[in-house]
Amino acid sequence: MGSGLLHTVRASDHILAELTARVAELETERGLTLRLAQTDSLTGLVNRGAFTTELCQRLETARAKGRRLALFVVDLDRFKQLNDTLGHHAGDLFLAEIGERLRCDCGAGELVARLGGDEFALIADAGDGDISGRAERLLALLTQPHIIYGRAVSPGASVGVAVFPDDAGDAGDLQRFADMALYRVKTAGGRRWSAFDAELRDENERRRTLEAELRRAIPAGEIEPWFQPVVDSRDGRIVGVEVLARWRHPEQGLLTPAAFVPIAEELGLIGRIDEAVFEAGCRLAAPWVKDGLIEVVSFNVSPRDLLDPAFSRKLIGRLAKTDLPATALTVEITETFLLQDMALSRRHIERLNAKGVRIALDDFGTGYSNLRALMHLPIQTVKLDRSLICDVASDPKVAKLVASVLHAARALGVRIVAEGVEEESQAIFLRASGCERMQGYWFARPMPADQMAMALRQSQAATPRVLTPEPQRRRASA
Ligand code: C2E
Ligand code: CA
Ligand code: CA
């Protein structure tokens, strides 16, 4: 071999070595990046994304080997309180401590993760027996107090469990079922663990059925608008209607929103329901406005709809396709959304106001920060919540509060509608306190369009009546 060739070989050796080193370096870097992408930075545990991937893989292995796996989901109780009282830094310290405890306690082959916030998860071998021992140990570990800033804190924890393959055959169901078990513990006060069981399986079936039925019901036109009169306090004349959704279920009969609005929100179907109710509601109520029978038609919108930046523009577009004048339309909004995103709320409200549409703040008196919304946003109407109205005639403190809210509203130029007026004494008090408008069972319950049309014609024919509400007449004739 000539020296030239030898030199070339040496040089290529050198290059090769350098290349190998560089590749190794890159791989470490990539590994590090990969690890960082899979790790929760606060606790050093696996994060949600990596956990889900890992869960799927482990389920495959378990399936192949005929093994059982348990998925535990953990949610700390009252963690928000700890955060609020001791500050976020203390909250972080506590989460890191919980992460450390879980990691140290983790058996061979087990995996712990932080799913986000104060939620953790554990995958463990379920063996042949029951998982209660493992669940008890997990709960005990989480309830031990921890010293932060010299104070012992123990917010406690709730745990939900589901087992593969006993409860579910795939990762999605397993997670959902463990969450359902956790949710049940949480709503019962927490500090316990619970396994997915027959009761939850039934609930899951019911939800599944409801979900499928709801998807079918919307295009089938089974969701319909009902109407509840809003009356003028001075003479009891009907001046407006609130449109309320009803589901005419083929087997279960008429369903109120409590039975389907929460699940529709969860499934992202509420927008379509609101749209259907709006379209049909406008079509039915526009002639009443045109004939001068009512001035106001109000609709409820879900806070979810309002998160859509195009919500107001879409609503204006939809309104233009109906015969309802914009000035007759009121959109009822709850404060939950308003305070979540003030800037977006303001944009929606201003866009609607510019067209002549009014905004009502719904369920006033139930939240903490209603006054803030009222002061900072251009709101035209406030709907006093039923919970305030029901004690207005019996509790002098509530009466004083309502009277001062009415006074403040007058000062701000905001109209008040009292909701849920069920008794004459309440109506008399509200009228005497200067509340302009009322709504409630005392006057009329929500009713379908044909009945509403009839009631309007009757109220037009009758001479103005001073609070001669329906139940009274019903009672008198009974
Ligand atoms: P809300 O907006 O506070 O509507 C008033 C609710 O109080 C209605 O219940 C009405 O029937 C009921 N109500 C009226 N007067 C009285 C009374 O004197 N006593 C009692 N106990 N209740 C009275 P409903 O129709 O079951 O609606 C419940 C909630 O569902 C509504 O509360 C509203 O938040 C929501 N909702 C109704 N329709 C729609 C809709 O089309 N879209 C959306 N997103 N939500 C809707
Ligand atoms: Ca409402
Ligand atoms: Ca309300």
Tens digits of residue pLDDT in 243-296: 999 999 999 999 999 999 988 998 889 999 999 999 999 999 999 999 999 999
Instruction: Return the ligand number nearest the Cα of 420.
Output: 1
Q: Is 455 helix (H, G, I), strand (E, B) or coil?
A: helix
The CATH fold of domain 48-196:
Alpha-Beta Plaits (3.30.70)
pLDDT at 476: 40
- Kindly state if the Cβ of 281 falls inside 6 Å of ligand 1: no
| Identical topology for domains 48-196 and 208-477 | no
Question: Residue 472's pLDDT band (boundaries 50, 70, 90)?
Answer: very low
**Does residue 420 contact residue 386 with C-beta atoms inside 8 Å?**
yes
**CA-to-CA separations, 70 to 47, 67, 133, 157, 164, in angstroms, rounded:** 18, 10, 12, 18, 6
Q: Concatenated DSSP letters for 175-223?
A: HHHHHHHHHHHHHTTSSSEEE--HHHHHHHHHHHHHHHHHHHHTTTT-E
Summarize pLDDT for 229-239 with one digit per residue, the tens: 999 999 999 99
**Does residue 322 contact residue 357 with C-beta atoms inside 8 Å?**
no
- Kindly state if the Cβ of 423 falls inside 6 Å of ligand 1: no
Average pLDDT estimate for 161-186: 96
Instruction: Return the ligand number nearest the Cα of 443.
Output: 1
Summarize pLDDT for 378-431 with one digit per residue, the tens: 999 999 999 999 999 899 999 998 998 898 888 889 999 999 999 999 999 999
Worst-scoring range by mean pLDDT, 77-81, 181-185, 195-199?
A: 77-81
Ligand 1 center to 225 CA (angstroms):
12
Q: What DSSP designation does 258 have?
A: G
Q: Which among 438, 408, 411, 413 has a CA at the least distance from the CA of 426?
A: 438
Tokens found for residue 241:
């209607």
Indicate whether 98 pLDDT > 60: yes
Ligand 2 center to 454 CA (angstroms):
23
Rounded Cα gap, residues 271 and 265, in angstroms: 8
33 or 285, higher pLDDT: 285
Question: Residue 475's pLDDT band (boundaries 50, 70, 90)?
Answer: very low
Domain 208-477 has CATH 3.40.190.10: no
Instruction: Return the ligand number nearest the Cα of 298.
Output: 2
Tokens found for residue 23:
């590749």
Indicate whether 467 pLDDT > 90: no
Q: What DSSP designation does 106 have?
A: P
Average pLDDT estimate for 201-223: 93
**Does residue 261 contact residue 208 with C-beta atoms inside 8 Å?**
no
- Kindly state if the Cβ of 420 falls inside 6 Å of ligand 1: yes
Neighbours of 216 (CB within 10 A): 11
Tokens found for residue 154:
């123990």
Peptide bond into 165 cis (omega under 30): yes
Rounded Cα gap, residues 75 and 73, in angstroms: 7
Ligand 3 center to 229 CA (angstroms):
14
What angle in degrees, to the nearest 10, is found between the helix axes of 171-187 and 48-65?
120
pLDDT at 291: 95
User: Torsions phi, psi of 213, nearest 5?
Assistant: -65, -40
Tokens found for residue 203:
């609930």
User: Torsions phi, psi of 226, nearest 5?
Assistant: -110, 165
Summarize pLDDT for 334-355 with one digit per residue, the tens: 887 777 788 899 999 999 999 9
Rounded Cα gap, residues 452 and 281, in angstroms: 12
* Minimal-distance CA residue to ligand 1 atom 33: 300
Indicate whether 14 pLDDT > 90: no
Per cent of the chain over pLDDT 90 is 68
Q: Is 73 helix (H, G, I), strand (E, B) or coil?
A: strand
The domain segmentation of the chain, as residue ranges, is 48-196, 208-477
Rounded Cα gap, residues 191 and 1, in angstroms: 80
Summarize pLDDT for 40-93 with one digit per residue, the tens: 999 999 999 999 999 999 999 999 999 999 999 999 998 988 888 889 999 999
- Kindly state if the Cβ of 384 falls inside 6 Å of ligand 1: no
User: Torsions phi, psi of 76, nearest 5?
Assistant: -75, 140
Tokens found for residue 234:
């001075």
